[in-house]
Amino acid sequence: MKSEPQEFSIHDLQRKGKALWDGVRNYQARNMLRDEMRVGDRALFYHSNAGGETGVVGEMTIANAAYPDPTQFQIHHKYFDPKSSPENPRWVAVDVAFEKAFPRLIPLSLLKQKKRLAGMPLLKRGNRLSIMKLTKTEYDYITTLANSV
């Protein structure tokens, strides 16, 4: 799951312990939140557009099932959607719970070098979703990279 660190970082999540993962405004990513994520699922936290290196910075857990993203109804919020209503919400959110920050950022450049990760959606051209599925093997390999410091 990707976030711009100036918007919401792994350290923000660490400080809060649990937080709303809001602002998903892509139907494919929304469907993953709604239909595929389950309470207790683990997720990697990825800093994108970091003004420097981008990459995986930690782990979190899905803390609850998807529910209507409250920001879609807040008129002055940047994620407000005038086509959405409480009776027919278009967007969902989940809460995520902090698990750990990695000792160092695992940069995208390193992930691209690893043949074992070649099929990962993040590494495919044109794939810019904020939420992407990983296989258990990919997830475990990335956490191994993070912990090999």
3-state DSSP assignment of residue 63: coil
133: Cβ contacts below 8 Å, ≥ 6 apart:
32, 36, 121
What does the pLDDT average to over 131-148?
A: 93
Asked if 58 and 45 touch (Cβ cutoff 8 Å), the reply is yes
Place of tokens 């979703």: 129
Token code pair at residue 88: 């027919």
Q: How confident is the model at residue 149 (pLDDT cuts 50, 70, 90)?
A: low
pLDDT in tens, 36-68: 999 999 999 999 986 777 999 999 999 999 999
What does the pLDDT average to over 100-126?
A: 91
8/44 Cα distance (integer angstroms): 14
Q: What domains lie within the chain, and their CATH numbers? A: 2-131 (3.10.590.10)
Q: CA 46 → CA 56, 84, 88, distances in Å?
A: 4, 28, 31
Q: CA 44 → CA 31, 85, 90, 97, 145, distances in Å?
A: 18, 31, 25, 11, 13
Residue 93 has pLDDT above 80, yes or no: yes
